[in-house]
Amino acid sequence: MEEKNLEFQSELKAVPFEGLNSQEMNLIHKALGARDRSHSPYSNFKVGAAILMANGQVVLGANQENAAYPSGLCAERVAMFSAGVEFPKERMEALAVCVDERATNLPFPCGGCLQVMSEYEFKQKESLKLYLIHPTKELVYTTQSTRDLLPFSFNESHLPD
Ligand code: ZN
Query: pLDDT tens digits, residue range 113-142?
Result: 999 999 999 999 999 999 999 999 989 999
**How many residues can be counted in the chain?**
161
Write the CA distances from 47 to 28, 65, 78, integer angstroms. Answer: 12, 11, 11
- Clarify whether 76 is annotated catalytic: yes
Measured CA to CA, the distance from residue 35 to residue 161 in angstroms comes to: 41
Q: In sequence order, what are the beta bridge partners of 51?
A: 59, 95
How far does residue 63's CA lie from ligand 1's centre (Å)?
A: 9
Question: What residues have a C-beta under 5 A from ligand 1, the ion?
Answer: 74, 110, 113
- Please indicate, yes or no, whether the overall pTM of this predicted structure exceeds 0.75: yes
The full set of domains in the chain, from first to last, is 14-149 (3.40.140.10)
The mean pLDDT of the chain is 96
Read off the pLDDT of residues 6-39 as tens digits, 9 standing for 90 and up. 888 889 999 999 999 999 999 999 999 999 999 9
Residue 98, pLDDT > 90, answer yes
Helices (H), 110-151: 111-124
**Main-chain phi, psi angles of 132, to 5 degrees:** -110, 120
Q: In sequence order, what are the beta bridge partners of 142?
A: 13, 131
How far does residue 103's CA lie from ligand 1's centre (Å)?
A: 15
- Of residues 7, 24, 65, 76, which has the active-site annotation? 76
Angle (CA) 154-127-37 rounded to 5° is: 90
How far does residue 31's CA lie from ligand 1's centre (Å)?
A: 15
* pLDDT grade for 160, boundaries at 50, 70 and 90: very high
How far does residue 71's CA lie from ligand 1's centre (Å)?
A: 13
Could you tell me if 125 and 91 are in contact, meaning their C-beta atoms sit under 8 angstroms apart?
no
- In this prediction, residues 96-113 reach a mean pLDDT of 95
How far does residue 1's CA lie from ligand 1's centre (Å)?
A: 38
For the chain, the straight-line distance linking the first and the last C-alpha, in angstroms and rounded, comes to 28
